[in-house]
Amino acid sequence: MDILVILQAGVASGTVLLFATLGEILSERSGVMNLGVEGMMLVGAMSAYSIAVHLGNPWLGLVVAMLFAGIISQIHAFITITLHADQVVSGLALTFVGTGLSLVLGEGLNKAGTVALLPTLSIPLLEHIPVIGDIFFKNHSIMVYIGYLFIPLTWYFINKTRPGMHLKAVGEFPAAADSQGIKVYRLRYLYVFIGGMLAGLAGGTISLAISPGWFSELTTGGQGWIAVGLVIFAQWNPIRAAAGSYIFGALRRLVLDIQGPTMLLGFANPFFYNPYLGFFLQMIPYAFTIVVLVIGSQEAMRKRIGAPAALGEPYVRGERGK
């Protein structure tokens, strides 16, 4: 078991979670919780792979994945923002819509044969840094490096720019934002769209880079739900979201690699001597998601961890704000 290898693999598969989590952070910061991440990721994974197979260009695949996932996210936006319906119910419905749509449109795609994938590369100079270079800058898909750029950019956008301030205002106190002339509905539509695009990007990253191929709903395997949980764990902060994504990415590989050595930290390795124990490790990200969602749904706790105050609340213009 080589820790470096596990962390390197973790950064790669964590990139998928990173894109999805950042997208959900932007959407939730504007006050709209979208539980449809899993469905949008599937739509993205399917359309990215399909375009790459049929037109031969993975980059075009990514663009279409983002657009397609963004467009279906607008169903959720319409239902929750314009019709003021419940965000949880609508988000769940969006998961079903996205899953079903991707399964129908992706029929037969898995045997389409070899396909042009996104390139893998190392960053010159940086790859030679001991440890850090091996983990972060060597033999990764280009999407991993794009992920690195997204982390500070998203943080800077939310915390240091004017549109970022508007985004926060809309999610914290939409009535006040409205009275200042910020277009609440329009911004919420926009950030749900961006959240959808990033979920689509996450899906495309799976099917064209991290685990190439289209394997129906097993392509995402519940990672969209983990992303929803990570948002709460990250307290809507992109930097913490990145750390969480990479840790969970590494856990996926740790579950397998920890079965290898007979000794662990000087003790007999329980995961070597009892294969059943590994199943508990495998369960951790999903169990964590449930726990975090339960905690995050309690009003008192939400205030303490800094949830956007208007998260989940439909904004109705002219009604008394709160």
Query: Which residues sit at the interface with other proteins, rule CB under 8 A?
Result: 1-2, 5, 9, 13, 82-84, 108, 110-111, 206, 211, 213, 215-216, 218-219, 221, 252-253, 256-257, 259-260, 262, 272-276, 278-279, 282
- Least Å distance between CB 218 and other proteins? 5
Q: How far apart are CA 255 and CA 284, in angstroms?
A: 10
- Least Å distance between CB 156 and other proteins? 33
Nearer Cβ to other proteins (172/257): 257
Give the burial class of 266: count Cβ atoms within 10 A of its Cβ; 0-12 exposed, 13-18 middle, 19 or more buried. exposed
- Least Å distance between CB 309 and other proteins? 23
Asked if 205 and 34 count as a contact pair (C-beta separation under 8 A), the reply is no
Helix 87-105, helix 58-77: angle, nearest 10: 140
Nearer Cβ to other proteins (213/321): 213
Nearer Cβ to other proteins (169/210): 210
Q: How many CB atoms lie within 10 A of CB 320?
A: 6
- Least Å distance between CB 278 and other proteins? 6
Q: Are strands 263-264 and 140-141 parallel, antiparallel or unpaired?
A: unpaired
Strand, coil or helix: what is 140? Answer: strand
Nearer Cβ to other proteins (162/275): 275
Closest CA to 24 of 294, 249, 289: 289
- Least Å distance between CB 261 and other proteins? 9
Helix 223-233, helix 277-296: angle, nearest 10: 50
Nearer Cβ to other proteins (9/208): 9
Asked if 71 and 257 count as a contact pair (C-beta separation under 8 A), the reply is no
Nearer Cβ to other proteins (18/206): 206
- Least Å distance between CB 255 and other proteins? 9
Q: How far apart are CA 257 and CA 251, in angstroms?
A: 10
